[in-house]
Amino acid sequence: MLRLKEKKVLITGATGGIGSAMAKRMAKQGADLVLSGTKKDSLETLSNEIGDNCYSFAADLAKKEEIKNLVIWAIEKMG
């Protein structure tokens, strides 16, 4: 069942246990994903594992400018 088909989801903390599990589950349900976290290599690995319609952006959400850049990038990528 693709309950999240055509839905766009931004997951922060995506390389952690809960974030990673959420990303995998939402991808299986058809969501388009933007994954964010501070560990670029882990983000790329997870994004490649999930496959199509999954993008990653490394950002430290303790930094206001990085939050802004993440949101702008996600909107440009996903609409």
- For residue 58, the cross-strand partners are 37
pLDDT of residue 18: 96
User: 18-46: per-residue pLDDT in tens?
Assistant: 999 999 999 999 999 999 999 999 999 99
pLDDT of residue 26: 96
CA distance 77 to 6: 14
Q: What mean pLDDT, rounded, does the chain reach?
A: 94
* 22 vs 1, more confident: 22
Instruction: Tell me phi and psi for residue 75, to 5 degrees.
Output: -65, -40
For 72, the domain range is: 8-78
Does residue 3 sit within a domain? Answer: no
CATH of the domain at 39: 3.40.50.720
Does residue 32 sit within a domain? Answer: yes
User: 54-75: per-residue pLDDT in tens?
Assistant: 999 999 999 999 999 999 999 9
Instruction: Tell me phi and psi for residue 61, to 5 degrees.
Output: -75, 0
Helices (H), 1-79: 17-28, 40-50, 64-78
pLDDT of residue 2: 79
